[in-house]
Structure 1
Amino acid sequence: MSRWRRRKEPGVQVGGDVAYSAIGPYSSVVVQQAPAPDAPAVEWPVEVGSVPALASAFQPRAGLRERIDAVRAEGGTAVLTQVLSGGGGVGKSQLAASYAAGAVADGTDLVVWVPAGELQQVVTLYARAAQRIAAPGAAGEDPEADARAFLAWLATTDRRWLVVLDDIGDPDTVEGWWPSSRTGTGWVLATTRLHDARLTGGGRRRVSVDVYEPAEAAAYLRARLAEEAGLADGAEEELAHELGHLPLALGHAAAYMLNSGLGCAAYLDLFRRSSLGDALPPSADAEGYGRAVATTLLLSLDAAEAADPAGLGRPILRLAALLDPAGHPEALWETEAVLDHLDPLGDHEPEEIRASLRVLHRYALLTCDSGTGTVRMHALTARAVRETTPEEEFAGLAEAAAEALLFLWPEPERPDWELAAVLRANTVSLAAAVGPLVWDVIDCRQLVFTAGFSLFREGRLGAATAYWAAVADACAAFLGAEHPDTLQALARLAEAYSRTGRVAEAIEVEEGVLAACERVLGPEDNDTLVTRADLATSYAMAGRLPEAVALMEQVVADRDRLFGPGGADTAQARANLAAYLQETGRLSEALVLAERALVEMEEAVGPDHPTLLGVRNNLAAAYHDAGRPVEAVALKERALADAERLLGAEHHQTSFLRGNLAVSYWDLGRRAEAVALLGRAVAELRSVLGPSHPDVVEYAGTLALMRAAARSARPLWRRLLGR
Structure 2
Amino acid sequence: MRAGRALAVVIEVALVFATGLVINAASEHLPSWLGDPWLVWPVLVALLAFTIGFTLWIGSSPSSEPGSRVWNVPGANPNFTGRYQDLANLAKLLRSRSRVAVHAVRGMGGVGKTQLVLEFCHRHHKKYDVVWWVAAENPTLVPDQLRALGRALQVDLPQDAGEAVRVLLSHPLSSSRWLLVFDNAESAADLNPFLPSGAGQVLITTRRAGFDAVGGVLDLDTMSRRESVALLARRAPKLGARADELAELLGDLPLGLEQAAAYLTQSAMRPDEYLHLLRTSPDSLADKGEDAHRRSPDRSLRTLWDLSLSRLDEHHPEAARLLATCAYLAPDAIPLDLFTPTREATALSHQVGVLVDHSLVKRDDDHIVAHRLVQLAVRGHTDTENAPTSADALTDAVNVLRYGVPAEVFKNPAVWPRCRQLLPHVLAVAVHEDRLHELAPDTLAWLLDRAGAFLRETGLPNQARPLLERALRIVEVACGPEHPILAGYLNSLAMLLKDLDSLDAARSLLERAVRIDEAAYGPDHPAVTIRLNNLAMVARDRGTRPVPLPAGTRPGRRRGELRARPPCRRTQLEQPRRGAARTWARPDRPNS
Q: TM-score, normalised by structure 1?
A: 0.36
Larger proportion of helix: 1
Max Rg structure: 2
Q: TM-score, normalised by structure 2?
A: 0.43
Higher RCO structure, 1 or 2 (CA under 8 Å, sep 6+): 1
